[in-house]
Chains A and B, each alone.
Chain A
Amino acid sequence: MEHPLIDLVNISKTFDNTMVLDDLCLSVKENTFVTLLGPSGCGKTTPLRIIGGFEKPDTGKVIFDGQDITNLPPNKRQLNTVFQKYALFTHMTIAENIAFGLKIKNKPKAYIDDKIKYALKLVNLDGFENRSVASLSGGQQQRIAIARAIVNEPRVLLLDEPLGALDLKLRQDMQYELIRLKNELGITFIYVTHDQEEALTMSDTIVVMNQGYIQQMGSPEQIYNEPENAFVADFIGESNIVPGTMIRDELVEIFGARFACVDKGFGVNRPVDVVIRPEDIDLVEPEKGTLTGVCTHLIFKGVHYEMEVTTPDGFEWLVHSTDMCPVGKQVGIHVDPFDIQIMNKPESEDEEAVGVNE
């Protein structure tokens, strides 16, 4: 078993009587791209700030490469942060910004100059040495913030919603840049975002968080295809979450119709939640469908059509398909067994939020 680089052990943190993290445990392996994903206010930034050393946990430990660094101040940690609003030093030139960490460590001037050149090249901003911070666009400032962090050769780069302030096109470009950087540098990235698409695009591992708990942790595919609870299913992409009953292994009943599935071990006649992605629903002739309904809504989305099919019980199914179905038409709903994801029904609000282990 590979030794984890960072281990958060039973971390709890309270701000102004509000529990932000409750007994959180998280391991990050060396040289991976880990994303903490969740809606705003879910407590996803706090672990990052605790790793960075800007917050101290109320209880629990931070282990870095086998060492307890919980009480180590940020300036003594072998990791660097890229901040949400870049946090560049406006009274310094670009070169001075990048050189800051190296000068603090008293590196020789030649070394620093080399590093500045190298870092600027790496972020595609050669020749920007003497520019002022104010003369840079948001995307450029972002790259400088990254350059400033990586010249220190950290073992881990922490990124706190670094693309949040950029527009869509720039964001996408920067996503590719980050992937490239990670591959070139070969270091660990811990990335915080609320943008699920960003998380899915870049990460090796995604940690979905809500209300201070880890909801699910896994590869992007696992998170998308096999959400472990309704929150994850709902937060990652669009989905139909319907109540159902597990008749027996590999057979689930939804609104009185029985669907074959691949899940086992939920018991017999147990109420469950069923997740079906809109693009996994096939619209067929009414008689061929497991359920039938009427198409009540249709929008052209470019790549596909978005439709709503209302079944007699009143549920509106969200369907994505490249085939169009006109409004008012009777259709049948068909889902392949492996596209059906079964989840336990939460017994209480609390349980809904409790972390599910790997």
Chain B
Amino acid sequence: MNKNASRFLAGPYIIWMIGFTVIPLIMIILYCLTDGDGAFTLANVAAIATPEHRKALFLSLGLSLVSTLICLVMAYPLALILRKRNVGQGSFIVFIFILPMWMNFLLRTMAWQTLLEKNGVINGILSALHLPNLAIINTPWAIILGMVYNFLPFMVLPIYNVLIKIDDDVINAAQDLGASTAQTITKILIPLSLPGIISGINMVFVPALTTFVISNLLGGSKILLIGNVIEQEFTKGSNWHLGSGLSLVLMFFILVSMALMAKYDKEGEGTAF
């Protein structure tokens, strides 16, 4: 391919990116650095320090960290098992995880309400079995559950994709050299799948940190996350400047995770799909 000429094939998309990715981000920064009258201010960023915003941010950070951790702990063994069962049906496994996405995300999350409610399906089953009832709806635990449920595939797929690229013989070699199953996992598989893990953490942590839908649906609107604050500033409070300021603070965390990702995943192998 004529290198010089075909390079310009990227042109249309680069223009597109400037128009629809870069300029919108500049707009957020503009809004963030001005007040209602258009004067320069840093108050919108500083607003993160007010008690209610700080609380919402820390709560979001806490909940998303916990759910990311749970996702990781759930996803890694799963990816290992799937890797083992991979023989000739890799794409099918991927579909199993993408398939739920065809059922609307809001409906899926709503359905958890039905499952978790005091008189819901799960408690119905538990009662029938004479087991104590589950009372996590409208608590932070329900939000964590919603996050884990919605974002688990984004943890499983990148890890799985890195794991299946590891040659069976590398694992055999480790065992051959005397490593037990546990040692093989900790010394070989986890270090080798680190790009997938990092990318998975990113793909779970970022949406979990910024969600407002899950906390609304499963938290009974009692729990205010930073995503809810921003959403309300834009749709209800109508202080777009403040909303932009808080968004920018979120961007900071996203940038940190992007930087982490770039450091560990230079080859870009840790991708979900």
Contact = CB atoms under 8 A, between A and B. Distances in A.
A81 B173 CA distance: 7
Interface in B158-217: 167, 169-170, 172-180, 183, 187-188, 191-192, 194
Interface residues of B, number: 18
Contacts of A91: 191-192, 194
Nearest to B183: A104
Query: Is chain B's interface secondary structure helix, strand, loop, or mixed overall?
Result: helix
B197 to A, nearest CB: 13
Contacts of B174: 89, 100
A322 interface: no
Contact of B170 (A52, A89, A149): A89
A54 interface: yes
A152 B177 contact: yes
A87 B169 CA distance: 6
A157 to B, nearest CB: 11
Scoring A54, A73, A92, A152 by chain B CB atoms within 10 A of each residue's CB, the highest score goes to A54
A95 B142 CA distance: 48
A64 interface: no
B178 A75 contact: yes
30 contacts: A52-B176, A53-B175, A53-B176, A54-B172, A54-B175, A73-B175, A73-B180, A74-B172, A74-B176, A75-B177, A77-B176, A80-B176, A80-B177, A81-B173, A83-B169, A83-B173, A84-B169, A85-B167, A85-B169, A87-B167, A87-B173, A88-B170, A88-B173, A89-B170, A89-B174, A91-B194, A101-B177, A104-B177, A104-B179, A104-B183
A46 to B, nearest CB: 14
Interface of B: 167, 169-170, 172-180, 183, 187-188, 191-192, 194
Contacts of A83: 169, 172-173
Contacts of B183: 104
Interface in A76-123: 77, 79-81, 83-85, 87-92, 100-101, 104-105
Given A80-B176, A87-B169, A89-B192, 17 more contacts: A53-B175, A54-B175, A74-B175, A75-B176, A77-B176, A81-B172, A81-B176, A83-B169, A85-B169, A87-B167, A87-B173, A88-B170, A92-B191, A100-B179, A104-B178, A104-B179, A145-B173
Contact of B177 (A84, A85, A148): A148
A220 to B, nearest CB: 28
A87 B172 CA distance: 8
